[in-house]
Amino acid sequence: MNIAEVYRSLAFLVLLAAISCSGEVARQSAERPVIRITGIPDENPTELARRHGPMTAYLSEALGVEVTYVPVTDYGAAVQALIAGHVDFAWLGGFTHVQSRNLGDTVPLVMREIDREFKSVFIAHVDAGVKTPDSFKGGSFAFGSKSSTSGHLMPRHFLSTEFNLDPDSDFAGPPMFSGAHDATVKLVESGKVRGGALNKEVWDRMVREGRVDETKVEVVWTTPGYVDYNWTARSALSTDLHLRFTEAFLALNAADPVHAEVLALQGAKKFVVAKAADFDAIEGVARSTGLLHGKP
């Protein structure tokens, strides 16, 4: 055998080894399923990445499989990704959860304890002279995302039921939609709008972290409580996976440093079981405000 034939033989053996190796990798990958999760983008991308990194690592360890976080562009995209099966679990607000169950077959699994009695805050620029939400009449106003429970649906509901204000006709023009809770704060802080409404948990965290100038913006009213965020799953997933995912969150214990970090970044002291009936009242509000259509 000459040198050229030897090289050809070696090349062939290398090719066979590569094919065999790639097949083994593919087989092993198929044996290691990937769980994909997402969440509504209720804050800026940097904050979302900070919030979800430790949680994703914890879930990978707890579930024994790779868990990846899939970012989405807006609230509607989170719902559609879940319905289409592009993700397996989604962190949704009460309103987006109700949208998901009306568009497809989904089920709530767990929520933070605070989500059983969640609240929104109405904020105003200090120069606006607003002391109660009825004083927003005739001025500019900002909600968060159109599909936000705490940044739009429930504030809209309370403006109507508690203060007899119609957001579509009683402000100085149509309300603005900032797209995220922290963005609403910055719009009010800058004076671009007289007031706005957002998630109380985000407001409290921004104040603690010094991310809001309290000499320029203040809280003028806090809403009554309502049910909000939860982890929603595709019903098509196995009951065993639903159970293991739920148990991973129920097992979080603030006495464990790793768990404590996850809980703190999620704004939670602990997680509790969520049930479909918990969100019936949110669905009723969404239909009464004309923001939800389709099957009852």
Q: Considering the domain boundaries, does residue 3 fall inside one? A: no
Enumerate the β-bridge partners of residue 34: 66
Q: Considering the domain boundaries, does residue 15 fall inside one? A: no
Shared-domain flag, residues 134 and 167 = yes
Torsion of the alpha carbons at 181, 155, 136 and 196, rounded to the nearest 10: 0
The pLDDT > 70 percentage for the chain reads 89
- Residue 296 pLDDT grade (very low, low, confident, very high; cuts 50, 70, 90): low
Radius of gyration of the chain (CA): 24
pLDDT tens for each residue of 266-287: 999 999 999 999 999 999 999 9
Mean pLDDT of 121-125: 98
Q: Considering the domain boundaries, does residue 47 fall inside one? A: yes
Give the CATH number, domain containing residue 108.
3.40.190.10
The pLDDT > 90 percentage for the chain reads 84
- Residue 43 pLDDT grade (very low, low, confident, very high; cuts 50, 70, 90): confident
- Long-range pairs of 236-241 with CB within 8 A, sequence gap ≥ 24: 236/85, 236/105, 237/88, 241/35, 241/88
Shared-domain flag, residues 167 and 103 = no
* pLDDT (0 to 100) of residue 187: 98
Shared-domain flag, residues 105 and 52 = yes
- Residue 44 pLDDT grade (very low, low, confident, very high; cuts 50, 70, 90): confident
Shared-domain flag, residues 112 and 41 = yes
- Residue 58 pLDDT grade (very low, low, confident, very high; cuts 50, 70, 90): very high
- Long-range pairs of 239-247 with CB within 8 A, sequence gap ≥ 24: 241/35, 241/88, 242/107, 242/109, 244/62, 244/63, 245/35, 245/59, 245/63, 245/89, 245/109, 245/110, 246/109, 246/110, 246/273
pLDDT tens for each residue of 157-206: 999 999 999 999 999 999 999 999 999 999 999 999 999 999 999 999 99
Shared-domain flag, residues 231 and 106 = yes
Q: Considering the domain boundaries, does residue 294 fall inside one? A: no
- Residue 295 pLDDT grade (very low, low, confident, very high; cuts 50, 70, 90): low
* pLDDT (0 to 100) of residue 50: 84
* pLDDT (0 to 100) of residue 14: 40
Shared-domain flag, residues 129 and 217 = yes
Mean pLDDT of 16-22: 45
Q: Considering the domain boundaries, does residue 11 fall inside one? A: no
Domain count, the chain: 2
AA identity, residue 147: S
Shared-domain flag, residues 163 and 218 = yes
pTM: 0.86
pLDDT tens for each residue of 125-142: 999 999 999 999 999 999
- Residue 94 pLDDT grade (very low, low, confident, very high; cuts 50, 70, 90): very high
Domain boundary at 222, 242, 274, which? 222
16-30, 33-47, 69-83, 247-261: range with lowest mean pLDDT: 16-30
pLDDT tens for each residue of 213-250: 999 999 999 999 999 999 999 999 999 999 999 999 99
Kindly report the average pLDDT of the chain as a whole number.
Answer: 90
Shared-domain flag, residues 240 and 107 = yes
Q: Considering the domain boundaries, does residue 243 fall inside one? A: yes
Distances (CA, A) of 153 to 119, 250, 287, 296: 12, 28, 10, 18
Enumerate the β-bridge partners of residue 121: 198, 222
- Indicate if the pLDDT at residue 28 is higher than 80: no
Residue-range definition of the domain harbouring residue 41: 32-116+227-288
pLDDT tens for each residue of 141-154: 999 999 999 999 99
- Indicate if the pLDDT at residue 2 is higher than 90: no
- Residue 1 pLDDT grade (very low, low, confident, very high; cuts 50, 70, 90): low
Shared-domain flag, residues 203 and 136 = yes
Shared-domain flag, residues 148 and 193 = yes
* pLDDT (0 to 100) of residue 136: 97
Shared-domain flag, residues 45 and 108 = yes
Shared-domain flag, residues 124 and 214 = yes
